[in-house]
């Protein structure tokens, strides 16, 4: 599909016409005085009859109008040039959900200004999933309108890439990553939860959304110490590096509380206390059939 730019051209033309009318209202049509004054009267009494313009004033007025028209034409050209050349921006790009099961569909929505393309780029093994300034070799951008919503299937990790181009200047681009069966890492710096206890409260990142088919599978303790995990009303104690299905089929959203007891040494908060730099947990997804 080609970009529908007719509406934008009309809006720019109307803007130029309005600016021209405003400018025309500021420039005088003639240099002749609007009224004639009665000589010798106190303060110069003003007559009601409008004074007749001098022939030279008429010629000067015609020259002013020609000059004004030339200025209006130049102003319209500037407005059109700036409008078209500067129109390369992306105000919205959303993809949901961002973690799906293999073969599941995602919704892609965008709103841009400029000639727009949408590209779905599979993330190959060893390839960075970061948003880059240019598409990889072999990618096939699809022309789209300046706003819309589509469904796309994600059979593997994917980057959705939107680019908007204007007549001049650098193109604008944004991208969103979608992962298939992505694990959810949860980690934080522990705080004292008592003289002999430490605690971390973490939650799923705001930009991470799992599909309705995806629930919690197994949870792995990534620490070298035992921890107690609480989530959604359930509690489980995990040995160092242990994997547990205690939270299977639960929703990953909400707070995850990771707690551990100090094994030896001074109490928490005192000098010489041996506290790990972080408490970490890995939540693996489970795809429901």
Q: Are 32 and 54 in contact (CB under 8 A)?
A: yes
Helical H runs in 120-263? Answer: none
Q: Report residue 141: phi and psi, to 5°.
A: -65, 145
Report how far Cα 144 is from the mean position of its chain's Cα atoms.
18
Name which residue leads in pLDDT, 206 or 42: 206
Pair 56, 112: CB distance under 8 Å: no
In this prediction, residue 197 has a pLDDT band, given cuts at 50, 70 and 90, of very high
Side-chain-facing half-sphere of 204: CA atoms under 13 Å:
19
> Domain coordinates of the chain in residue numbers?
6-33+51-85, 89-180, 184-264+275-287
Q: What is the CA radius of gyration of the chain?
A: 34
DSSP state of 225: S
CATH T-level assignment (fold) for domain 184-264+275-287: Jelly Rolls (2.60.120)
SS3 146: coil
pLDDT of residue 203: 87
pLDDT of amino acid 139: 82
Contacts of 243 (CB under 8 A, 6+ apart): 218, 219, 220, 221
Task: Identify the CATH homologous superfamily for domain 89-180.
Answer: Macroglobulin (MG2) domain (2.60.40.1930)
CA 186 to chain centre: 25
Residues 171-188 pLDDT 10s:
888 989 899 988 889 999
Let me know: does 135 contact 173? Beta carbons within 8 Å. no
């Amino acid at each position: 599909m080609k970009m529908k730019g007719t509406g934008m051209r009309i809006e720019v033309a109307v803007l130029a016409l309005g600016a021209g009318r405003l400018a025309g209202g500021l420039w005088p049509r003639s240099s002749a005085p609007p009224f004639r004054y009665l000589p010798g009267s106190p303060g110069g009494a003003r007559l009601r009859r409008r004074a007749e313009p001098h022939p030279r004033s008429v010629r000067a007025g015609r020259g002013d109008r020609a000059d004004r028209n030339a200025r209006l034409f130049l102003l319209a050209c500037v407005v059109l040039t700036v409008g078209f050349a500067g129109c390369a921006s992306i105000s919205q790009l959303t993809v949901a959900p961002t973690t799906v099961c293999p073969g599941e569909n995602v919704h892609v929505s965008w709103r841009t200004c400029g000639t727009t393309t949408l590209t779905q780029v599979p993330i190959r093994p060893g390839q960075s999933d970061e948003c880059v300034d240019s598409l990889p070799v072999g990618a096939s951008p699809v022309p789209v309108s300046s706003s819309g919503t589509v469904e796309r299937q994600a059979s593997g990790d994917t980057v959705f890439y939107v680019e908007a181009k204007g007549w001049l200047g650098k193109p604008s681009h944004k991208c969103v990553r979608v992962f298939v069966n992505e694990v959810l890492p949860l980690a934080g710096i522990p705080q004292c939860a008592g003289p002999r206890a430490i605690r971390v409260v973490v939650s799923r990142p705001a930009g991470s959304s799992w599909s309705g088919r995806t629930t919690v599978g197994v949870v792995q303790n990534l620490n070298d110490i035992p921890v107690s995990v609480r989530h959604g009303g359930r509690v489980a104690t995990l040995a160092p590096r242990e994997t547990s299905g205690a939270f299977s089929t639960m929703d990953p959203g909400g707070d995850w509380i990771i707690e551990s007891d100090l094994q030896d040494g001074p109490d928490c908060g005192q000098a010489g206390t041996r506290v790990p730099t972080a408490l970490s947990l890995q939540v693996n997804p489970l795809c429901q059939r």
